[in-house]
């Protein structure tokens, strides 16, 4: 590839200039960095026991960085919305529709509840063991994908998914606002979260509730993405 023909000289030189600028600023910043910045994570992890959550990663994701997680959920919603919007504007029929094998259909139908159960387990035990809402939601969406691949007649009710998604989004913000009123901080932990209940299923106050809400929202959005991607072509 001839670089000189494909990329203009101004672009190359401005890129080099900006890269040099970024490197200079970074080197100045890294030399004068305050020593306290490096221990930010440690001081947060020391506060972990206040929330009574066994999994420290969950405390960081849902409690200390709960607002960031709300933003991530919003980003996922916009991605799902964009995929739906982009794929509705195209109309083309599906020519190579293959009827799937009987064994595939039966196996998928057998596996479907087990995968759903595993996803719900990962979602509900996010504050005790490995996993959480994001992972559980995507596991549920992969079960939906399996059903879509194996069966031609499987269809997600748009109404149900919409209600689930709206409910999850509204209740996340509502819990945050209740925390703002009761504990004076957005997403404050207003439910009992005693350290003596560490390791129990009902522990950690609002943390497991928020993770289940995240799981519902991620699961419904990812399922909707899968449905839009796979079924749009043969619906219209």
Q: Are the C-beta atoms of 186 and 179 separated by less than 8 Å?
A: yes
40 to 59, contacts with another protein by CB under 8 A? 55, 57
Q: Is residue 138 at the binding interface for another protein, with CB under 8 A as the rule?
A: yes
Q: Which is closer to another protein, CB of 127 or CB of 193?
A: 127
Q: Is residue 143 at the binding interface for another protein, with CB under 8 A as the rule?
A: no
The window from 10-18, 30-38, 107-115, 224-232 that contacts another protein (CB under 8 A) reads 224-232
Query: Exactly one of 151, 171, 197, 233 binds another protein (CB under 8 A); which one?
Result: 233
CB of 3 to another protein, least distance (A): 18
Q: Is residue 230 at the binding interface for another protein, with CB under 8 A as the rule?
A: yes
| 206 Cβ contact partners less than 8 Å away, ≥ 6 residues apart | 175, 179, 187, 189, 190, 191
Residue identified by tokens 């203009």 is 8
Q: Which is closer to another protein, CB of 65 or CB of 183?
A: 65
118 to 137, contacts with another protein by CB under 8 A? 122, 130-132, 134-135
What is the rounded CA–CA span in Å between residue 163 and residue 151? 25
Q: Is residue 145 at the binding interface for another protein, with CB under 8 A as the rule?
A: yes
Q: Which is closer to another protein, CB of 130 or CB of 174?
A: 130
Half-sphere exposure of 176 (CA within 13 A, CB side): 19
Q: Are the C-beta atoms of 153 and 162 separated by less than 8 Å?
A: no
What is the rounded CA–CA span in Å between residue 13 and residue 17? 6
- Would you give the DSSP letter of residue 61? I
Report in angstroms the alpha-carbon separations of 169 from 51, 163, 180.
23, 10, 17
What is the rounded CA–CA span in Å between residue 174 and residue 172? 5
Query: Exactly one of 35, 89, 90, 196 binds another protein (CB under 8 A); which one?
Result: 90
Q: Which is closer to another protein, CB of 137 or CB of 179?
A: 137
**H-state helical runs in 1-65:** 3-6, 9-31, 40-46, 56-58
Q: Is residue 105 at the binding interface for another protein, with CB under 8 A as the rule?
A: no
**Which structure tokens are listed for 70?**
């709300």
Q: Which is closer to another protein, CB of 79 or CB of 182?
A: 79
Residues binding another protein (CB under 8 A): 55, 57, 87, 90, 92, 122, 130-132, 134-135, 138-139, 141-142, 145, 222, 225-226, 229-230, 233
């Amino acid at each position: 590839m001839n670089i000189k023909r494909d990329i203009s000289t101004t672009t190359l030189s401005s890129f080099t200039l900006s890269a040099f600028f970024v490197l200079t600023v970074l080197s100045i910043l890294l030399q004068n960095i305050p020593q306290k910045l490096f221990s930010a994570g440690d001081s947060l992890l020391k506060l972990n026991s206040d929330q009574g959550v066994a999994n420290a990663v969950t405390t960081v994701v849902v409690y200390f960085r709960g607002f960031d997680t709300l933003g991530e959920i919003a980003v996922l919603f916009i991605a799902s919305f964009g995929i739906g919007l982009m794929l509705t504007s195209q109309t083309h029929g599906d020519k190579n529709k293959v009827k799937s094998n009987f064994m595939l259909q039966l196996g998928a139908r057998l596996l479907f509840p087990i995968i759903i159960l595993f996803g719900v387990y990962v979602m509900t035990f996010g504050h005790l063991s490995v996993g959480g809402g994001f992972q559980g939601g995507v596991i549920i969406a992969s079960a939906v994908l399996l059903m879509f691949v194996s069966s031609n007649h499987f269809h997600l009710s748009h109404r149900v998914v919409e209600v689930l998604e709206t409910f999850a989004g509204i209740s996340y913000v509502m819990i945050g606002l209740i925390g703002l009123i009761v504990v004076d901080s957005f997403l404050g932990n207003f439910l009992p979260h005693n350290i003596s209940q560490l390791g129990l299923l009902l522990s950690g106050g609002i943390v497991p509730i928020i993770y289940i809400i995240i799981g519902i929202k991620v699961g419904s959005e990812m399922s909707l993405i899968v449905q839009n991607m796979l079924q749009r072509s043969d619906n219209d």
